[in-house]
Chain A
């Protein structure tokens, strides 16, 4: 057989080096080609990760036993011997950028699986990669060096990654630096400065939201095939909003990153919520931020958990027993606003016992019958505080048969206020002063007061107790309220979450997020067959919805369980779906490739098969069957 010259460039020789020419015959297999190239390059190193990339065809030659003939390679082919794993800058949901080695040769789906294995995120099928938004290059932005955490030295994800007892991949424990990196992955980031939020914020109409979904990478093709280059920046995000089998013990990183993604979605108004909901989210963020600083990320060791809970139990018990002061007494000003006219403030002597406030004319009369007793169980407690004005009022709405009695208690100073406020809050939930949570309640009220004192400095990130409340809400509310106005509102919401543990708080955040009406909808602008105007297709885990672009109203909903089949005509780029009852729809995609829509629908159907599956093994084949394009078939 005639020998001919094949030119292969070798990355290790440098970009300017001319390609190596090796003499081959058409029946030489790929493995043999690599061997020849390596020999000729005269470089001694580990070549095991290298493979041949065929530039013109944009494809990898990954089957070593195939002959050149079988691959269709002739003398005009320009091949490149290059590592399959290359460094990539990966922007995580938390905003942290990691530099790590990713697989550039296998389909994105498998590449993500590898990345997740490396980062200890379970259920990698829920995540995928997408291109970052093209940043407008401004000169001043160039100065800002982005922080980068390099973990390229980690073993390749294809190999077995040994894990420590606490679930942390062993290599993270090798140096203090890498350990710090892992901690950063598993613990939520401090609240961003309001300016950061404002900078990232985009006025988000539904079309803008649809554009985000045009940036997803194709799961069935490799990174290199999709034009990703070494050291490029990609985002890792949760793509499918069905989070299977979350277990706080095993999912430290997964939960944290999910929380971060949800938090940013809220802060940037990628998902809309009401003002009340925003305040709860803000309160939870504040709480999570605070607890993250103190509560060490306890990794998952069941025995440790038991011990922890036992210790906690003991602590609670001891606190409950030792707490000597089960009664508060002090002099305060009392007023009961009647309609229109404000009844004058009057000084009384107050006692607080169990869940009941009693008041007397003076301290001396406190042994007699009180003027009035108020049981606070089930009441509403609201702060009315201005630190600057030295006004510390507690507003109580006490339910009675006739309605709610509105009562104001004016405390003299911060100290008194925080204790009485804490007592009122506990009492409203039916707890007494003896409850172990009393002191922490007092503390959290004090820290909130401290928040009001500090004037928000420009770049204040959450360092200790002090925090700018503007860091916790979206720019809309940053504009609407001053930090001082926000504080009491967040505090109000905070009282319901203040006692949650870190994981509980994160899960609560995720729960409220998932209960939002628009949760889990991915939008694509489409044009339905026979329609002249663009409309929006919303894709959720159980249904497709058709949305009027101008009004934003849901026009129609189709559920997957009534779906018979869906087809993609790749030539005219049209998706056609048939539902029960002979309902057929067809549309072409405007803002995204129809492969993305196809992948979303197939992906959600794949996700729904998981619950029935007992095993934890990922059925990659099924995923590709459901989401692959015409190449896959």
Chain B
């Protein structure tokens, strides 16, 4: 099983991770084990200071025995590499042997936990148009939208809607932009070990063109000139008609395409028609009537890919080809449908049409989310340029963002949910001086106690999080920092370096699957974006960091949108629990040590 994408070996991938990511990974691991703190505390109670004991009360201890018991049989393999972990960035100056040992144990435990973790993570190298690349860690619950939000922060590019994460396959010479709602880890996991496939981050004009100029797709038969200056109102109506009804209407595409015959080198012209139920052609001598149509393929199990230079590779009539294949197929196969169009535009039409047939309304929702994101970032870039260098808006899923170690800038943070707004907005006191934080030298990054309960749940939480919609009772009277207990719902909670983010995430700290039942939770995008996207009206000035009262109201429009977001990842069987973990773990450790000893 691969743990990294785009690297020849794992070490390279770890080295390529930015400090932030590495810290996050580390924080994650520690979050994992800090939950087992109690066990160690009790174990060492006899000769250890009171610090860990003090922490015990702050942790809910249910379920813990189970993990503790599995921990007893920890392998000794990685123990020497752990022996001297470099001081974590925020750790206290005082370091005794004993603590050192404690930490080593914890890290070891963390690695084991990671090994058995239900949540799969990949280190992915993403190539950017300018030739550079970024490396980031992607967790299986993250959608492409989340990943892009991370990339926006890392690359500081404008966040326009055309940015896409794409996969390329050199064997098949294909390229496909992932849809924003897709999960990234799943398709990447099916790549073969020796794959030369790449993940690209680039602008793709085709991605959402249909929503900017629906008339070109839905009225493609008409003269293009007459469509050119269609009024925005009419475009909106077109979208409304086709995407907002009981069922999404697929563009009525029809025309001649070339189909590569099964197992042969020849291409044959056929008259194709697109329907919501699949791609059809009309056999020779038959009418175009529905009953005579032959189904070439239905879209449930296939994706559509753009192809490059098929004139040379497959002797295609033109270079404007696309294929339909099961995502797992990586090499030439009789199960791939090869199609060729006369020109680029007709290829765009067909590929877009197929995407609409396959994804339906989801595509439109993705677009609207992307527009909100883009509008939001533009607004912020204009207004908060002084306060924030990375002026991007908070990502829709705070968790996702935290996962890469990026804390949002306080100035940008406006997403405290209604029940959290009683907090003084962004008082950024460093974690160490906070009253609730027990003097705990063991935790490399300051780890607030409640978040350690995360790991208590052996299973990743089910998609419904009823608790998160309930205002956390205790937090209301507490001083800011110790993150509210909702955090407990999340599995490994990456701890972002600047502690303020924890407070600002507050109740919004949900696990990444952005969607669904959390209607009561105000989704992150700040209010101004909504206005910008809704009517094109000039966005109101950005609310100063969490203004308590107006916030909930302002969020409402997004709420409804968010409800229809991608479905939660189905993890009934956490597949791939990092099986070949052993050597990966030690590699990971060494890599991290190197990294830490560098500065």
Contacts and interface: CB of A to CB of B under 8 A. Distances in A.
A47 to B, nearest CB: 47
A352 to B, nearest CB: 13
A246 B252 CA distance: 26
Nearest to B254: A517
A403 B247 contact: no
B334 interface: yes
A161 interface: no
Contacts of A355: 573, 575
A275 B282 CA distance: 13
Q: Max chain B CB contacts within 10 Å: which of A275, A355, A431?
A: A275
Given A514-B245, A515-B249, A552-B289, A274 B280 contact: yes
A104 B274 CA distance: 47
A220 to B, nearest CB: 28
B301 A378 contact: yes
A276 B277 contact: yes
Interface string A365-381: 00000000000011010
Contacts of B327: 378, 399
Interface string B562-577: 0000000010110100
Contacts of B330: 401-402
A401 B328 contact: yes
A512 B328 contact: no
A512 B572 contact: no
Interface in B317-341: 326-331, 333-336
Contacts of B219: 557
B276 interface: yes
Contact of B573 (A275, A430, A516): A430
A196 B551 CA distance: 61
Interface in A332-387: 354-355, 377-378, 380
B552 to A, nearest CB: 23
Interface stretch (B290-298, B387-395, B423-431): B290-298
A514 B246 contact: yes
A469 interface: no
A514 B249 CA distance: 8
A516 B245 CA distance: 13
B329 A400 contact: yes
12 contacts: A272-B289, A276-B295, A355-B575, A402-B331, A403-B333, A403-B335, A404-B335, A430-B570, A510-B246, A515-B249, A517-B275, A552-B288
B155 interface: no
Contact of A380 (B246, B301, B329): B301
A44 to B, nearest CB: 54
Interface residues of B, number: 44
Interface of B: 190-192, 219, 221, 234, 237, 241, 245-250, 252, 275-278, 280, 287-291, 293, 295, 298, 300-301, 326-331, 333-336, 570, 572-573, 575
Contact of B334 (A269, A403, A434, A476): A403
Nearest to B290: A272
A501 interface: no
B277 A399 contact: no
B290 A403 contact: no
A354 B571 CA distance: 12
B277 A280 contact: yes
Contacts of A401: 190-192, 328-331
B276 A274 contact: no
> Nearest 6 CB-CB pairs, A to B?
A403-B333, A399-B328, A401-B330, A515-B276, A272-B290, A511-B247
A552 B292 CA distance: 14
A404 B276 contact: no
B572 A431 contact: yes
Nearest to A398: B328
B295 A404 contact: no
A517 B298 CA distance: 16
A432 B237 contact: no
Given A246-B246, A380-B301, A404-B335, 15 more contacts: A274-B277, A274-B295, A275-B293, A276-B278, A377-B575, A400-B328, A402-B331, A403-B334, A431-B570, A431-B572, A511-B247, A512-B247, A512-B277, A515-B248, A557-B219
A380 B302 CA distance: 11
A355 B289 CA distance: 41
Contacts of A404: 326, 329, 333, 335
Interface string A275-298: 111001000000000000000000
Interface string A545-577: 000000010000100010000000000000000
Interface string A59-86: 0000000000000000000000000000
